[in-house]
Structure 1
């Protein structure tokens, strides 16, 4: 009698871009480690240090030494290139069936990975966005004009992609690995969000879902980095990749 076919376990690649996050990165890694993924998925954490000026590298190395049971790939850029460039590096090195983006700060809750995974594991979705604006989950009240800007950018993006997202700028984006690795991504800073959305929307027969997530936003004093210049870049990217990509 032939032996049963052994299929390798499915895996979620968690890409963590990090710039000057030495103070908090161990806390987000603790949260990632604690999550039990649905579907018996394994975890693969890929940390990309974008030439931090603080002790991010030492903090990650200490964490890896103390937590050998959490599979972590550590990659470092020799010069600062931007969040998008760090994501490009992490995505290239991903080996999981699915890829999710996780900021190194504490604004997004890894406990909600399963919320994003659910439509994929049910076989109805290829890409899942986590929306901060769908309601039903905790949401820190912060900047009015940021929320207006996010909604305006999402609407503009939807006009070019023909999607009906409520939060294009969200960090939590989950992709089938073949889809995200099949995109030719160029934006090295915060233009990554509109670019990946525009190019993903053109992937043949892609099924896109959106789910509500929590958001524990930071102020600038707490380390928030995105500013008004990034908003203008996002507008440029929406037009560039919406019309000419």
Structure 2
């Protein structure tokens, strides 16, 4: 068995040597492994230090982007060069202890799974020294996106994962940002791959600055949720509009009973507009949901096409 470990890096000069040494310790029990460090357009000494380390550590392969393109793009670059039967993805700041690598791989093989996720939010998982706002936003994002995936998964946005190479080879991955992690899960689940979580501890960053942009990350996860479950958005809007229209209708009916109803009042038009608009949006949401359900067939076709292209190379 060969293991490929991918570490996206952006301005991580303070963490490079510590992280790579810890990762090597975790991987030394495996006969064959490669470490793919992807420098995502850093403007510090990250790339220079990676190349320096690689001169004496041939198991490290350094990949780089000329400019910062996002964590998703960095992972995709790593996936393209990964040769292992198992692919591990890990943060550069040791927020997750590399000791979990072995646990992920054992779980993957012992239970014949396709993806194993390191989860800090499942029962038994922990967090330590995480700023309150970051923890709150992360928990809410995982809860919302987890609901959209319609699976009992507690941590859907985390990077600590083990994949069978077949999974990555059979999915058309498009995301460049942090939404890549739920995207992979969504497509893998739709195709029928088996996913499981194991409890881990997520620790706060010790060196360097966090690269997480809370606002953009939250927006991207919300958009992903609406894409996966359009009825969450359209159903809510449609119900609110319809409810407002019904409340207005009840009020107007009350005025009619009291003999004070004036048919020329604008409120009559507002009532009709609200009810019709609400129903139309609900119908649109239903149609969008049916289209969303067809994605599974599209992903299966993409899987077959991608695997066929690999065989023809």
Q: TM-score, normalised by structure 1?
A: 0.86
CA distance in 2, matches of 1:191, 1:65: 34
Corresponding residue number in structure 2 for 1:214: 201
CA distance in 1, matches of 2:228, 2:28: 34
Corresponding residue number in structure 1 for 2:19: 28
Alpha-carbon RMSD across the aligned residues, in angstroms, is: 2.1
**Given the alignment, which residue of 62, 71, 79 partners 1:74?**
62
1:199-232: per-residue Cα shift (whole Å, max 9, x none)? 121123x11110011222228x841111222111
State whether structure 2 residue 57 is matched by structure 1 residue 62.
no
State whether structure 2 residue 210 is matched by structure 1 residue 224.
yes
CA contact (8 A) 2:157 2:178 kept: no
CA contact (8 A) 1:37 1:114 kept: no
Q: Which runs of 5+ in 2 are unaligned?
A: 231-291, 296-313
C-alpha change, 1:32 and 1:210, in structure 2 (3 Å) is same
Q: Which runs of 5+ in 1 are unaligned?
A: 1-9
State whether structure 2 residue 143 is matched by structure 1 residue 155.
yes
Structure number, greater radius of gyration: 2
Task: Spell out the pairing of 1:92-103 with structure 2 (5 A cutoff).
Answer: 92-103=80-91
Q: Please state how far the C-alpha of 1:123 moved relative to its aligned partner.
A: 4.0
Task: Spell out the pairing of 1:58-207 with structure 2 (5 A cutoff).
Answer: 58-68=48-58, 71-134=59-122, 136=124, 139-204=127-192, 206-207=193-194
CA distance in 2, matches of 1:153, 1:239: 13
Corresponding residue number in structure 2 for 1:7: none
Q: Please state how far the C-alpha of 1:152 moved relative to its aligned partner.
A: 2.4
CA distance in 1, matches of 2:175, 2:62: 22
Q: Please state how far the C-alpha of 1:36 moved relative to its aligned partner.
A: 4.4
Corresponding residue number in structure 2 for 1:42: 32
Q: Please state how far the C-alpha of 1:32 moved relative to its aligned partner.
A: 0.8
By relative contact order (CA 8 Å, sep 6+), the higher-ranking structure is 1
C-alpha change, 1:138 and 1:123, in structure 2 (3 Å) is closer
State whether structure 2 residue 2 is matched by structure 1 residue 14.
no
SS in structure 1 of the partner of residue 201 of structure 2:
coil
SS in structure 2 of the partner of residue 148 of structure 1:
helix
Corresponding residue number in structure 2 for 1:4: none
CA distance in 1, matches of 2:145, 2:191: 16
SS in structure 1 of the partner of residue 37 of structure 2:
strand
Q: TM-score, normalised by structure 2?
A: 0.68
